[in-house]
A and B are shown apart, each in its own frame.
Chain A
């Protein structure tokens, strides 16, 4: 043997390591992601449980103070009480009685809000400063991050130590440090947060920054984003757009300015198409979590609202896919006006009643799709979908990039291994030839057409079509022409950076399908697993809404959202006009802002203000006609039918309710609508801010099994922090909206 070169490190480094199998890799990642999601879900529910137990209401300043007092004086005593009262039903599930203590920890962490989150998890830039600042204050508060951390580690000692730390009341220094932290956090996220996914467009030179952040947080009484001058045209969204931080990269968004206020005397009828897409919420969430305010046009109010599950009553008979739920109540963000809430819920299909599925996955494997948040996520999300299919359902895979091709001929879902193997070998590269891919997919779906079942193409892409007919219009036309063949197209959007929202919208709307934006594993799980029936199974198509307002009761109205879904009055009864599809188990909610009759005539933005509640004159209330606020009509077609059915229902005075007494679903949807109004910088939002959204949403969490509502609350806090407009959650923070009774 030759004399050994003692550079063993090099020797070892050069030793070939066989690459792991793609299947095992995908499997391991999927399992871990599911495990993580379950962990977080369990965590969320437990925190919620403890909050309810203590009767902690919304995040009002009083409640925060209450919590701090509790923590300061009687943390230990409380834990004692908790263990006793909770012991029987909660701790039984826990492995150790001390878990109660850790839970109390998370609870206390909730009370100090998002501000100190940044402290616990210093970002790579400025992280050192952040931690310094915190340690200098001398009394360190635990954060959500930490308590989740201690939950994950289950480290009892650690939790106990943190509880003791938290027992110290926050000092003014602490608070001012937190204040600085908030600003720094916004700073940091401006530079860093959005780049969590490195894209080639990372930190583009021209990305506008939060220039006036400092000014805003210095004087919180100023609310510069609102207060449009009188006479401002009804499209403030467009005007404000330029002042907003722009998204990085080249995402493009399709939306229109807010619908204008319609005068009932001139335009008594409002007609629009159903929209069960949820893409906008996921997009907005991703931007906010990346530290950016979304551009107003990325916020489609109806998709924000319809993202969430609502437990509207189901129709009594299965012959009708849904029944409308209506509520009328005072508008929390615009005194003197009211909201008309219309919701429908479609019945769900139990697994055994699901029709057979002929699915073609059309996967964009162009270069822009590389990365774990795009192609990587496509693979894992289709893996989840596969688990939801019946063994006899078929799946085919078509890819497109420079060349389109069939990666997998129609294959029974029972051959999971085979399908997964093909999926895992897909790699990104080449340019996008969307049209050829689409044609191939339709062709394959047609060849394998199942008359009895669902025939659907699921297109997974970032929408960056750059070869072939790449105009959204051209592609949309092609998709529309295929609709009559009974093959539907749904679009799953992935990735951020050059995500083409407008293309997605156009394709899905024309393809009788829905558009969802998948921003991560949890969203993939939601769309592909938990709500797979609404993703795949349409229970009603061409669903149209029409509301006719009674001029005796309503002076003017504005539909919130659905700007891209407006229909002409005559389209309602025209069965040839395409409209939105409603999937099994999904809900559609629409909210109108209405100005009651008798209000001050509209002049600029002041029209909303200082208007008294309309008092119904004796002469009006006598008339049956005047008991009606309006009349709701819904038209739909069953999936295999070409003629529509009409559901109608008057909207009457007995639908009026106090918002605080309305159902949790109505209250929650209102919170989401209000949040959208804020994000869109909409006109006519007065004395209403993120705190009000939080108060409203927190009191309307309901059962929230999927944790999506608490996720919303977290998102509102993020928006609040980013916007930098809100005063810190301290004593002086005002709360405009009274917390709903619980």
Chain B
């Protein structure tokens, strides 16, 4: 009997959460979002598959819903629903920043906004450590799950490699990571972007506020980053060797690569960074953030500053303290030789004679799964370690060959990085297209970066190539020989 009573109490407990949150009026601020979108198959880039994704947002201003940017790209229809039930309203994206992983939606349906109220974003972490709640609509009811604060930590973003501060909390909620608001009392503390086990990764309120404020002021802002490599100075012999007096502190600059914006580098290998924006840097590479405590210095590239802003650094170089002004470069997916993100554009490709050319991107590699990317596609995956340069801004691969008598002998070639076509260096599909305009006599000569499979292919150019392409497109049900998104 005792067991039955306990079970009844347990069953009752979840109901208390929504009731409590309801008293605070969160049901008037949390919005359910349904996104229909095109998901591109990077193995067959001409194919679009539709998918529908549920997300959560929160009203933050007049007729504005804040949510995460993930899964908003390539949308075909966005609908929002207030109160977790009832009519849906069509919505549009007012603003999206995939680097910050945030977006603002709105709807023209006036009825939708009736009764909704904006939330207050809490920027200071002065909430109760065990008083966080994660909210979302489930079956018409506002689900509220307790979350326990774990730490603030600097991590890479979900959609980009930008390091920024995140709040981490432990919760029993399952499947979170679609923009669920994290609240404390009556204030918004953050949005959940990822859940791994019980650990939820949350964009904190301070970052939300910074992005929302910048957008409201129409400031053309993009996140910046530190474009150099450093290491902690825990090896005190290194500091002694560089004659740094006093207590061990600072971090060591180890590699400085040319900036893509053409500005000169103000840092050099062997510099010791002692301060950034007047924050002392300790030998682990952390600084004492007034809001979040000890954080990795990378956060100082996004803490209340943007790409193009100047950051003052105090450094130790050649036995002297120097002050240098570091202009934050703009983070862009194309900074990497293999772009991490491709958003709001179809999967690009070009087909000629059955040879399928594609840009090498992370979405392409992810199509194969992590295990295969690590092993069979090791070399392609390893290009992710490289930065884009002016000479090599991106890569094009021969991703596959659609079999036809025209390309007989080549059908099994795939995953080869293209170096040149007809003697012209190629690094994007436009350059492939251009190179194919200039065949070497009756042939196209395609040279690959050194690999263990094959270094060169030759195909016929001209009428037979065009006829083969048309035949292959028809046979394989492909509507167009190319999809090339113009470079920005």
Q: A and B bound?
A: no
Which residues of B does A touch, CB under 8 Å?
Answer: none
Which residues of A does B touch, CB under 8 Å?
Answer: none
